[in-house]
Amino acid sequence: MSRAALPQTPHELMPKLFGELRERYANRVGGFTRVLRTEPKNPDDQAESAIIELVDGRRDSRFMMTALAVARDQMMGRRSHPMTLINRKKVTQNRKDGEQEFQDMVRLFKQINMEDRRSGDI
């Protein structure tokens, strides 16, 4: 959703903000968002760009990257780096069924990797 669309749709956003999102973060202590800096969209003006995401959401990038690291480690038969273990705790502790969702994501990444190997994409 573009920034220009936000003022035009408060009737759609407010119920979500004060309903679903309020419930999701009600018991969470601290940060609700993550800012990921990106390359400027327009190289002429060099204006800063970023992606803002809600933590513990369906598209949480840290959750996915940590699951990918764990899947890789498991497939290579090695122990995960201590920072990976710290990130695993962070991304699962505030999610309902967080550890189960994490294990499901690890399995998915391992399955995708195996399918890629069979098709010769790796």
Q: What are the tens digits of pLDDT across the range 63-91?
A: 999 999 999 999 999 999 999 999 999 88
Q: Which amino acid is at 113?
A: N
The count of domains in the chain is 1
CB 109 within 8 A of CB 122: no
Return the higher-pLDDT residue of 8 and 110.
Answer: 110
Residues present in the chain in total: 122
* 63 closest CA partner among 91, 84, 86: 91
- In terms of residue numbers, what domain contains 76? 3-119
**Residue where the block lists tokens 């290579």:** 76
pTM assigned to the model: 0.67
E strand spans, 26-84: 33-38, 49-54
Q: Which two tokens stand for residue 53?
A: 């995401």
DSSP summary character for residue 50: E
What pLDDT digit, counting tens, does each position of 3-51 carry? Answer: 554 556 777 878 887 888 888 788 877 778 888 888 887 778 778 888 8
DSSP state, residue 4 = G
